Amino acid sequence: MLTAALVVVALQQPAPAPAAPAAPPPLPPQVGDTSPFRRLALPTPTLLREGSGRPGPRYWQQRADYTIRASLDTATHTIAGSETIHYVNNSPDTLTYLWLQLDQNIYRASSRGAGVNPTDARFAGRGFEGGYTIQYVRAVQRFGKASGRAPLATSVNGTVMRAELDRPLPPGQAATLELAYSFEVPEHGSDRMGREQFPGGWLYEIAQWYPRLAVYDDVRGWNTEQYLGQGEFYLEYGDFDVAITVPRSFVVAATGTLLNPLEVLTGPQRARLAQAAKSDTTVAVIAKTEAGQAFTRPAGAGPTLTWHYSAKNVRDVAWAAAPNFIWDASGYAGVLIQSLYPPEANAGWTRSTEYARHSIKHYSEKWFRYPYPTAINVAGPVGGMEYPMIVFCGHRAGDRNLFGVTTHELGHQWFPMIVGSNERLYAWMDEGFNSFMNIYSGLAFYHDSVPLGRGPAAGWARFAATGRDQPPILAADRVPPALLGSVEYGKPAAGLYLLRQQLLDDTTRFDAAFREYIRRWAYKHPTPADFFRSMDDALGEDLSWFWRGWFYRTDVVDLALDSVRVRQDSGGPITRIFLASPGGLPMPVDMRITLANGSVENVRLPVEIWLLGNHYLYERKFAADVVKVEIDPGQNFPDVRRENNVWTRS
């Protein structure tokens, strides 16, 4: 150390002053790759999540199986339940604690959701104060054939709860938890669950209604996003055994297969359901003239009935109950399609089962076979919300609105019920993909050729031109509520529609790639990177420029005609069309070129014309003078400034 310091001192002796050098030339420009075509930066691929977008050979996922026993007290609107969770640790990690989702805690007066949402907001509780009461959380310990119970220490953090395990849970082992809980059902449960009083009695839509295991995954560890209202939910897959006790006069609809129809249905109802299961057309199980009448419930002395269900390989269960449901059903390929609605529902609900059957059939045939035994549409206070095998749609909806909300909520059976992405973080991966599928479901049902609403690029461009666009990659709770529909539903749907209809030369290429993504990630937990990679891999394209501009940013499309000139060479006149793409998002260019002799030529230039910059010269000989050039005459691209799309010879 000392020697080195002396050397440094020696080197610091002043040098003789040099002669002043000539001024050096300026340094050349130093730039990074800022092109819209630069590779999209994604997490490094691993053996869990591969560069191809597939789950890798080391992919693992946790599993949570539930046994739930719950009863509904209609005098106090209270649900009291107990549950046993069998949690299998397939991760390579030893876990010492588990996180559970307690969504009902959003209705505590002090909740973060109450702070975020104005009292009357769609995703608020409208002033209702409730939340979970947890009686106990304990671990079941097994000693040979004997078993014991160990109370677990817990701490609640808003809408999540951490439970300290009584012993570390090693990889490959399972833990069994028992919980008992209760809560009062809010009337307006953030437009996801709740209750409404009809002349015939209360109608309940019950969801996010039992403590649920949070997802532990390889990407983030525990996924503990708070339930703030706008972000939906993210859960593990498992099997459910659920028994729901309600007043004898009530009819229940729930996720899963009804295990005890002999106890809770009448003979005629069982016969009608069996007939409906084989029927393409709608069969009344409880007709409007029968709804609410005593003979629609099995005779018996007890004040309650327990409805028992089994659901396999689902990420959640939900249910509805009312004393006066009209009940319709039909069948499709072994799937029992059902609708339950009160007599006061919009008269359009008589077509709900037809809409639901079309939706399940359409999505099954186009994208991925529906894997569950039933699909149920329930009318009630919730405007539109989805759970495995059951959806809630507003009872005031009718006609095309009811078709739209039904085909949307049932489309969620594919995203996120089958393809289990994180809705709280990536709403676009379920709302957007689903809204995209809805376009084609609507076209098929109404035999239309042009999509309504969210499909057309032109509609999207009008919104983008307002400057209010946001990147769909934002977590649901970070998007202003007024923009949620545009940003997380409409924009990703319009983007996939644009990709399928315009950016690829053949729609079947898109369909094969999208099906491959669904097949690869069915019953798994894909991230955005997994989707982008899987699509690029199956399409044989590097769509970095499109994924970045459309999903991560608010880059706009603006294709422009700068000028058209003519130059002479020895072979005659050559027309020079100067094109520009001043927006951040490049696109292929469609041109319609009209000649003086009246003929018209259509030219498609690939997106690669912008690889070297945002100006491009299209130059060639024509059979006659060019008198008019139009960019994107079909309005297929979301161009925010069409004023610069046309040139006419003056």
Which residues are 257's β-sheet partners?
Answer: 310
Contacts of 513 by beta carbon, 8 Å cutoff, 6+ apart = 534, 535, 538, 539
Work out how close the CB of 412 gets to Zn ion at its nearest, in angstroms, rounded to a whole number.
6
Work out how close the CB of 408 gets to Zn ion at its nearest, in angstroms, rounded to a whole number.
6
Residue 437 CA to residue 434 CA, distance in Å, equals 5
Work out how close the CB of 421 gets to Zn ion at its nearest, in angstroms, rounded to a whole number.
13
- Per-residue tokens: 527: 């991230």
Longest dimension (CA), the chain: 112
Nearer to Zn ion, 431 or 639 (CB): 431
Nearer to Zn ion, 445 or 618 (CB): 445
Chain residue whose CB lies nearest Zn ion: 431
Nearer to Zn ion, 413 or 544 (CB): 413
- Per-residue tokens: 388: 């495995």
Residue 254 CA to residue 390 CA, distance in Å, equals 7
Q: Which of residues 166-225 bind Zn ion (CB under 5 A)?
A: none
Work out how close the CB of 434 gets to Zn ion at its nearest, in angstroms, rounded to a whole number.
6
- Per-residue tokens: 25: 């030339």
In the block, residue with structure tokens 């449901």: 325
HEC secondary structure over 283-347: EEEECCCCCCCHHHCCCCCCCEEEEEEEEEEECCCCEEEECCCEEEEEEECCEEEEEEECCCCCH
Residue 276 CA to residue 280 CA, distance in Å, equals 8
Which residues are 572's β-sheet partners?
Answer: 569
Cβ distance 116 to 229 under 8 Å?
A: yes
Other residues' Cβ atoms within 10 Å of the Cβ of residue 165: 18
Work out how close the CB of 475 gets to Zn ion at its nearest, in angstroms, rounded to a whole number.
16
- Per-residue tokens: 379: 């009318």
DSSP 8-state assignment for residue 55: B
Nearer to Zn ion, 438 or 544 (CB): 438
Could you tell me the sign of the dihedral formed by the alpha carbons of 296, 299, 305, 306, in that order?
Answer: negative
Could you tell me the sign of the dihedral formed by the alpha carbons of 183, 184, 186, 191, in that order?
Answer: positive
Nearer to Zn ion, 382 or 499 (CB): 382
Could you tell me the sign of the dihedral formed by the alpha carbons of 335, 258, 212, 77, in that order?
Answer: positive
Nearer to Zn ion, 236 or 423 (CB): 423
Q: Which of residues 95-134 bind Zn ion (CB under 5 A)?
A: none
Nearer to Zn ion, 431 or 469 (CB): 431
Other residues' Cβ atoms within 10 Å of the Cβ of residue 305: 22
Residue 476 CA to residue 416 CA, distance in Å, equals 14
Nearer to Zn ion, 316 or 431 (CB): 431
Work out how close the CB of 558 gets to Zn ion at its nearest, in angstroms, rounded to a whole number.
31
The one segment of 79-87, 393-401, 424-432, 460-468 that binds Zn ion by CB under 5 A: 424-432
Angle made by CA atoms 503, 613, 468, in degrees to the nearest 5 = 65
Which residues are 195's β-sheet partners?
Answer: 204
Q: Which of residues 425-444 bind Zn ion (CB under 5 A)?
A: 431
Work out how close the CB of 414 gets to Zn ion at its nearest, in angstroms, rounded to a whole number.
11
629 residue type, one letter = V
In the block, residue with structure tokens 């706009």: 556
Nearer to Zn ion, 314 or 429 (CB): 429
Work out how close the CB of 386 gets to Zn ion at its nearest, in angstroms, rounded to a whole number.
6
Residues near Zn ion (CB under 5 A), total:
1
Nearer to Zn ion, 192 or 642 (CB): 192
Work out how close the CB of 579 gets to Zn ion at its nearest, in angstroms, rounded to a whole number.
39
Nearer to Zn ion, 205 or 536 (CB): 205
Work out how close the CB of 484 gets to Zn ion at its nearest, in angstroms, rounded to a whole number.
10
The one segment of 32-40, 51-59, 288-296, 423-431 that binds Zn ion by CB under 5 A: 423-431
Work out how close the CB of 254 gets to Zn ion at its nearest, in angstroms, rounded to a whole number.
20
Work out how close the CB of 121 gets to Zn ion at its nearest, in angstroms, rounded to a whole number.
17
Nearer to Zn ion, 376 or 538 (CB): 376
Radius of gyration, CA atoms only, the chain: 30
Choose among 579, 569, 572, 561: nearest CA to 624. 572
Residue 80 CA to residue 66 CA, distance in Å, equals 16
Can you give the binding site for Zn ion, defined by CB under 5 A? 431
